[in-house]
Amino acid sequence: MTGPRSTDRPAEALQEAIAREQQQVDAVYGRLDELRATYRERLTDVRSTGAVGTHQNRSERDAFAAHYEDALGRLEAVENRLVFGRLDLHQGERPRYVGRIGLSEPHGRRQLLVDWRAPSAQPFYQATAAQPGEVIRRRHLMTRGREVVSLEDELLDGEAAADVGSLAGEGALFAAMAAAREGRMSDIVATIQSEQDTVIRSPLDGVLVVQGGPGTGKTAVALHRVAFLLYEHRSRLERSGVLLVGPSRAFLRYIEQVLPSLGETDVVTTTMAELLPGTTARGHDRPEVAELKGRATMARLAERAVRGLQRVPSETQKLDVEGVTIELRPEAVRRAISRARRTGYPHNQARETFALTMLEDLMRQYGRARGRERGGEDEEKTFDAEDRAWLQEDLRSTPAVRRAVNLCWMPTTAHDLLERLYARPDLLAHHARGLGLSARDRELLRRDKGAPWTESDIPILDELAELLGGHEGAESARAASQERRRREEEVQFAAEAIEAQDLGEGIVSAEMLAGRFAATGPRLTTAERAAEDRTWTYGHIVVDEAQELTDMAWRALLRRCPTRSMTVVGDLAQRSAPGQPGSWGELLSGAGGGVREAVLTISYRTPATVLDSAVAVVSAAGSPPPYPVTAARDLPGALAVTHSGGPSAEGLLQAVAEVVAHELSALDDELGAGAGRLAVLCAQDRVAHLAAELRTQPRSAQAFTQGGTSLDARAAVLTAVEGKGLEFDVVVLVEPAEMLRRSAGDLYVAMTRPTRRLHVVHAGDLPAGLETDSTARPE
């Protein structure tokens, strides 16, 4: 970790060095401008060819236009802090500049800037005084717009340092930590720390679990890892895409700017509630119901429910076809069921085999009966194609036959089946036999048809959808293989187009272009196609706040990544659900072997006083001790506690309003008028009332109402669960003991959201570990 350091060099030396670096930075921006101009020109040229020519010419033109737009977009996205580092190296090498993208002088003569993800940038993040490698000095460049405003040096090789000298301005990391929060996460490419860099560059394969206490940069690291993996393994991940799963829509909005600014677009972001295309989870389950629905037992229940759709009738059933009586016999149904099951297809697809086998049996009976009618033909007669056609037609057009066959192998959707299971206690009890679900459990699962789906239903629906398959299963398999063939042809065609237009030089590959050709019409990226397809399998999956995921949720994610290439980040101590698992191994038992674990240990968000007190509170509550985490800094007055002065609800409300007004004006003083963000965190049943009150308070109304969403407004009232993964300059925490009663993990989350100050307001008792220094407010 880097920190501010003192120097005995005079300020002029710093100014001179800044002026020299400015020249380099100007040169890099100059090259960026040139490239932008080139792409703009190409885009204009391509577009100006107009909508003429053959269809092939037009899609070629659209494909190139789309590619240039993307490239231009990437170049536009790196305007801020384009260059942020410099390495001075042994062996007379030129200084190496590190930035957001790689840039070279025209015709590849000299590298001006090394992409932060390239191996040659790694020493910028990894070299230490103990292991300097080839690095003599690491320099952080702080820029505002295109202007270098400060720099900071770290000398890694004392002996060689005399040649390069060392200067110190404002520490880059400390400046980043002290910056006011703006409601959207920003990238950390300029200040990634060594333990974080190791995680970011960890190999693609296998399941990597990253455990880290609050504010250790798990989210930041996960996002930078995505950018790194797409850079390092582009060809493997470009077509399969990366899935990023976060805890809430608000969280995904909070992080959405980080990835585009890293220049990546092949990423689908989702919550578990949105994992199933076309299904929206609007309902909420009580914690005990969510826990129950998350158990792996639900997968067995799903399997039983699907098998239950494959029924052998208890006795022979007589069917009338065109005046002839035939029989649907239990043995024949049993044979057809086992034949269909042997196909290994999902239920709806395997139905075809079942129905054909049954029809064959019924057709034989029917054919023989009709034959006898016509004059007693041979019992063993085999039917020719013509006979078969009319016999089958007669059977198919008889509703009683269709109904009888359907009842033995009922095609259905996941939604219909789960709805029936929840709404019919007899059905549930039947399928749940021997699965360890008590009568109370079954009662907890009961819900009426038409009730909204919840987040915990999604993995169960997904499991059922997997077992059932689509209704037109055979067709979709055919469509998939057609799509594969089409894609191969497109790549071939794109390679020829590139050759014909002399567009080599790494600007565009056949794969990239083919992706565009495929998408002309409505232009679809990998991410867009993946997001619409339940059966899409991703090249890599990243899960944030992974401590929350249930066994069923894990199954749904693992299905989407058969290669088991995953990055799983979280903090066991921040789990809301009761019963903290002892280890990640326990939580991820379904992932099979090959799970490797990394730990992040330094918090870049929460001041030490607040972090220590959060640890003390959850430990006093009897939770397992959180993984050790050290705060990178402390701030004076980071923890304040205000007692409302008495037990009345009115007094508490008044105290919260006063504290909020006070904290907002303190932020104005510390960061500038209107800067910095505040959250009031409280138990669910206080949210609406507190929010309504604070919106009417003259001194805080504006902060709560401006913006619209909790991320855009300067201040918001949230539960701990809603605040998960987010951060605020100041948190006003109301009645922490109430939060603790629901979940120690939630209180731990709430206490660790602030970057500057935690202000606790209470009327009731404080949780053990926090009951110090209460400032009483006169009621």
> For strand 602-603 and strand 595-600, is the pairing parallel, antiparallel, or unpaired?
unpaired
Residue 193 CB, nearest approach to ligand ATP (Å): 5
Residue 472 CB, nearest approach to ligand ATP (Å): 42
CA distances from 543 to 293, 468, 699 (A): 20, 27, 40
- Give CA–CA dist 640/610, Å, rounded: 9
User: What's the angle, vertex CA 511, arms to CA 505 and CA 516, rounded to 5?
Assistant: 105
Q: What are phi and psi of 433, to 5 degrees?
A: -55, 130
Give DSSP secondary structure letters for 449-510.
TTPPPBTTHHHHHHHHHHHH--TTHHHHHHHHHHHHHHHHHHHHHHHHHHHHHT-TTTT--H
Cβ proximity to ligand ATP, 574 vs 623, nearer residue: 574
Strands (E), 346-474: none
Specify the DSSP class assigned to residue 168. B
Tokens 């009961």 map to which residue?
446
Rule CB under 6 A: which residues touch ligand ATP? 173, 176-177, 188, 191-193, 196, 212, 214-220, 571, 574, 604-605, 725, 727, 752
Nearest C-alpha neighbor of 290 from the set 142, 445, 126:
445
- Give CA–CA dist 575/626, Å, rounded: 11
Cβ proximity to ligand ATP, 68 vs 251, nearer residue: 251
Cβ proximity to ligand ATP, 215 vs 745, nearer residue: 215
Cβ proximity to ligand ATP, 219 vs 644, nearer residue: 219
Cβ proximity to ligand ATP, 404 vs 629, nearer residue: 629
Handedness of CA 125, 131, 133, 134 (dihedral sign): positive
- Give CA–CA dist 254/50, Å, rounded: 40
Residue 210 CB, nearest approach to ligand ATP (Å): 9
- Give CA–CA dist 429/769, Å, rounded: 46
Residue 202 CB, nearest approach to ligand ATP (Å): 16
Residue 600 CB, nearest approach to ligand ATP (Å): 7
CA distances from 135 to 20, 170, 191, 339, 591 (A): 20, 22, 17, 68, 40
C-beta of residue 412 within 8 angstroms of C-beta of residue 464: no
Cβ proximity to ligand ATP, 507 vs 599, nearer residue: 599
Residue 213 CB, nearest approach to ligand ATP (Å): 7
| Helix/strand/coil for 754 | strand
Contacts of 220 (CB under 8 A, 6+ apart): 185, 187, 188, 196, 258
Cβ proximity to ligand ATP, 515 vs 607, nearer residue: 607
- Give CA–CA dist 558/543, Å, rounded: 11
Cβ proximity to ligand ATP, 219 vs 310, nearer residue: 219
Q: State which amino acid sits at residue 119.
A: P
C-beta of residue 428 within 8 angstroms of C-beta of residue 421: yes
Nearest C-alpha neighbor of 62 from the set 384, 473, 523, 492:
523
CA distances from 354 to 333, 336, 338, 384, 391 (A): 8, 5, 8, 22, 18
- Give CA–CA dist 435/753, Å, rounded: 41
Specify the DSSP class assigned to residue 753. -
Residue 616 CB, nearest approach to ligand ATP (Å): 17
Residue 623 CB, nearest approach to ligand ATP (Å): 16
From the number of C-beta atoms within 10 Å of its C-beta (0-12, 13-18, 19+), residue 49 rates as: middle
Neighbours of 636 (CB within 10 A): 7
Residue 250 CB, nearest approach to ligand ATP (Å): 13
Cβ proximity to ligand ATP, 173 vs 243, nearer residue: 173
* Binding site feature residues: 212-219
Q: Which two tokens stand for residue 740?
A: 């603790």
Q: State which amino acid sits at residue 750.
A: A
| Helix/strand/coil for 83 | strand
Cβ proximity to ligand ATP, 567 vs 752, nearer residue: 752
Q: Which two tokens stand for residue 586?
A: 């326990």
* Binding site feature residues for ATP: 212-219
C-beta of residue 618 within 8 angstroms of C-beta of residue 573: yes
3-state helix, strand, coil in the chain (%, to 5): 50, 15, 35
C-beta of residue 58 within 8 angstroms of C-beta of residue 497: no
Cβ proximity to ligand ATP, 454 vs 752, nearer residue: 752
Residue 629 CB, nearest approach to ligand ATP (Å): 9
Comparing every residue's Cβ against ligand ATP, the nearest one is: 217
Cβ proximity to ligand ATP, 224 vs 540, nearer residue: 224
Cβ proximity to ligand ATP, 437 vs 726, nearer residue: 726
